[in-house]
Amino acid sequence: MAKTLDIVPVNDWGFFTLPRPMVIAGPCSAETRDQVLTTARGLRRFGINVFRAGIWKPRTHPGSFEGVGTEGLKWLREVKEETGMKVCTEVASEKHVYECIKYGIDMVWLGARTTANPFLVQEIAEALKDTDIPVLVKNPVNPDLDLWIGALERLNRCGIRKLGVIHRGFSTTENILYRNAPGWQIAIELRTRYPQLPFFADPSHMGGDRKYLMEISQKAMDLGLEGLMVESHCDPSCALSDAKQQLVPEDLEQLLLDIQVRDADTDDRVYKEGIDQLRAQIDIIDDNLLYTFGSRMNVSRKMGEYKRDHNIAILQTSRWDSIMAKMLSKGAGYGLSETFLTTVFNAIHEESVRIQNDIIENKS
Ligand code: PEP
Ligand code: MN
C-alpha cells in the first residue's frame, strides 16, 4: 500500500493562475543578463507567471557550458523585481539551495540525474527544511517509479509540503523519435497513487526538438496533468544548451492557444448520466472478469493436483505456445491488440504456473 504524501494543493501556492495548463517557461540556461530579461519580458507579455532558467547545468560532457552560476541568480532576482514573475531554477546540492535562498528564488526543481541519487535528495531536503520553497521533482533518468516516489518521500519527511512532479521521460537505448522515452504509463501510475500531487510535463526534454512540443503538450493535457514546463529562449539558434528544443516566446504563445484543454470534470447533467451508464457497464464486466479469473485459477489448481498425482512436470511450453498463437488470432477478431493479449495471457499463465508449483511443493 502506498504511503500518503502530505501536500499543499497547488492552488494555494500563489504561483499559478487557472485554467490549465499552469505554465513554467524560460530558457534551458541563464546565459547573459540581457538574454534572461528579454526572454522573461517576452513571456510575461502573454501572461506567463513562473519563469525558469538553469543556473548550474548538469552536462553529459565536461567542457560543455555548465551554467553561469551565482551571477545568474542576480538576473533572476531582477526578473522577479521587474516583472513580478516567480522565478525558479534547478538545484543539485545543498550549496545550490543556500545560494537560492540568499537570492530569493521562489521555487526549485530537482533534475532527473539528481532524483536518481538518494544521497543528494536527502542533502537537498535537509537544506530546504525550514523554508517555504516549493519543490518540483523530475522523474529519475531511469524508469524507476519507486526511486521517484522515494525522492518525494524524503522531501516530504523534511516538512516540504509544496511538492509537485515533472515528467520529462526516460533515457533509452532504443531508437526512438524523441530524446527521451515518454513512459506515460509510469506517470499515470504515479498520478493514480497520488492524485493530489501537482503534475507537470516537460515536453522540451521529452521531445528534444521543438517540432514535438505541440503533440506532447496535447497528450499531457489529455491525460489531465496540471501543467507544462517548457524551455523558451529569445534567440534559440544561439542557445548555449538545448538549442534544438527551445522556442521563442511568441511561438509558445501560439502553442498555448492551439492546444485543446478538455475539462477534467463537468457539471453537465446529460454527460454525467451518459458516463455513469458506461461506468456501470464497465463495473459489471470487471466483476465478470474477476469471476472468470477465479474459475480459471480453480481449474489450474485441479490441473496441478492431477499432474502431481501422475508425476508429470508442470510446464509444457509447446502447449502454451500453441494456446498463445490461437489466442492472438482469435483476439484480433475482437479488435484486441497483440501487445495487450500477450501481456494479459502471459500474466494468466505465470499465475497458473505459480499455483501449480505451490501444489507440487505441497504449499497448498
Ligand atoms: C533542465 O530542465 O534544463 C534539465 C537539465 O532537465 P533534466 O533534468 O530533465 O534533464
Ligand atoms: Mn534543458
Count of residues in the chain? 364
Domains observed in the chain: 10-258 (3.20.20.70), 269-361 (1.20.59.10)
For residue 245, the CA-to-ligand 1 centroid distance in Å is 12
Question: 0.85 exceeded by the pTM?
Answer: no
For residue 16, the CA-to-ligand 1 centroid distance in Å is 21
pLDDT reading at 133 higher than 60? yes
pLDDT reading at 199 higher than 50? yes
Mean local confidence (pLDDT), 294-323: 88
3-state secondary structure of 163: strand
Percent of the chain that is helix, strand, coil (3-state, to 5) = 50, 10, 35
Across 197-201, 250-254, 321-325, least confident range: 321-325
Q: How far is CA 116 from CA 122, 138, 265, in A?
A: 11, 10, 34
Contact 111, 82 (CB under 8 A): no
Q: What is the pLDDT of residue 277?
A: 86
Q: What is the pLDDT of residue 8?
A: 97
Mean local confidence (pLDDT), 87-98: 98
DSSP state of 177: S
> Of 6, 21, 30, whose CA–CA distance to 255 is shortest?
21
Nearest atom of ligand 1 to the alpha carbon of 28: 3
Contact 35, 227 (CB under 8 A): no
For residue 205, the CA-to-ligand 1 centroid distance in Å is 7
Tens-place pLDDT, residues 29-57:
999 999 999 999 999 999 999 999 999 99
Mean local confidence (pLDDT), 143-168: 98
Contact 258, 52 (CB under 8 A): no
Q: Which residues line ligand 1 (CB under 6 A)?
A: 28, 54, 58, 90, 111-112, 138, 168, 202, 205
pLDDT reading at 273 higher than 90? no
pLDDT reading at 231 higher than 90? yes
In this prediction, residue 1 has a pLDDT band, given cuts at 50, 70 and 90, of very low
At position 218, the amino acid (one-letter code) is: Q
Task: Name the helix (H) or strand (E) containing 138.
Answer: strand 135-138
pLDDT reading at 331 higher than 70? yes
Give the ligand with the smallest distance to the CA of 170.
1
